Amino acid sequence: MRTVLRIAYWPLAVALLAIILVSLDYSWPQAILIGLIFCPCALALEFLMPKARKPLDKVYLSLAVVVAVIVLIVALHFAVWTSISREGGIQNIKKVSPMLINPAFLGLILTALAIGDYFWSKWLSKRFKTKGRTITFYSERKSVTLPLADIAYVESNDTEVHIITLSGESYRNRTGIGQWENLLGDDFLRIHRSYLVNAGLARLASADTVAIGQTELPVSRKYKESVQIILEPTEGE
């Protein structure tokens, strides 16, 4: 259900965009096609922006995404809504609305889509917590099944990882932490090349550490910004 609802955000977003585009003198089919262009570009902005460390990198990334949208929109107009005569001349060119080549307008739309998807995903994470979900893996050659809600964090240690539970139990496994990140999904947050934490249990203990219960774990510079965005600061910080 959670996955279905996460995906459902985008058809709804395209429908809302189509309403705006119809007001710019596009037909409904044309408006929907243009709306679909925004989806992958907004996703790229959402997932790549936290990885851009420097402010200038964020500016370059934003400009690149906006330019990509403009190029795709112009290409769509030329490839789909242009007829060519028998003599090879181009006729009936559908003119691009000035708003769709306005960087400020496009940036606003992309930002709204990316932020909307982020908060929708965050709400779904709270609404459909890890309760009831389990994961099975091998530790010491034995099969272990744990509820995801019982896992506090995963620690990478050279060629193996340690899965630490809320009760303090530790299980060893040779699956890489990157693979664990994919297996555990959005309910777990990467804070360091060596640590993956249960986002529902973690809190910011300081600018450089995350606490789960009485355990404090370091946050590396690479993940610092995304951690601060996702985790709420503790009171008094």
154 and 100 housed in the same domain: no
91 and 147 housed in the same domain: no
For the stretch 129-152, pLDDT in tens is 655 678 999 998 899 999 988 999
Mean pLDDT of 195-214: 90
149 and 119 housed in the same domain: no
Q: Domain limits at 108?
A: 2-127
Total count of domains within the chain: 2
How long a stretch of residues is the chain? 237
Last residue of a domain, one of 127, 162, 192: 127
Question: Is residue 235 assigned to a domain?
Answer: no
Question: Is residue 226 assigned to a domain?
Answer: yes
Q: Is the pLDDT of residue 85 over 50?
A: no
Mean pLDDT of 101-106: 94
Question: Is residue 68 assigned to a domain?
Answer: yes
Question: Is residue 8 assigned to a domain?
Answer: yes
* Cα(131)–Cα(151) distance, integer angstroms: 11
89 and 191 housed in the same domain: no
Helix (H) / strand (E) element for 189: namely: strand 188-192
Closest among 46, 93, 57, 91 to 74, alpha carbons compared:
93
Find the CATH number of the domain harbouring 220: 2.40.50.1020
Last residue of a domain, one of 127, 152, 183: 127
Point out which residues pair with 137 in neighbouring strands: 144
14 burial (CB, 10 Å; 0-12 / 13-18 / 19+) is buried
68 and 141 housed in the same domain: no
Q: Is the pLDDT of residue 162 over 90?
A: yes
Question: Is residue 236 assigned to a domain?
Answer: no
Q: Is the pLDDT of residue 234 over 50?
A: no
7 and 118 housed in the same domain: yes
Least confident of 69-73, 88-92, 166-170: 88-92
Band of residue 191 on the pLDDT scale cut at 50, 70, 90: very high
Question: Is residue 148 assigned to a domain?
Answer: yes
Band of residue 236 on the pLDDT scale cut at 50, 70, 90: very low
Percent of the chain with pLDDT over 90: 51
Last residue of a domain, one of 106, 127, 148: 127
120 and 169 housed in the same domain: no
pLDDT at 92: 58
Residues 4-10: contacts with CB under 8 Å, at least 24 apart? 5/124, 6/120, 6/121, 6/124, 9/116, 9/117, 9/120, 10/39, 10/117
Question: Is residue 219 assigned to a domain?
Answer: yes
pLDDT at 187: 82
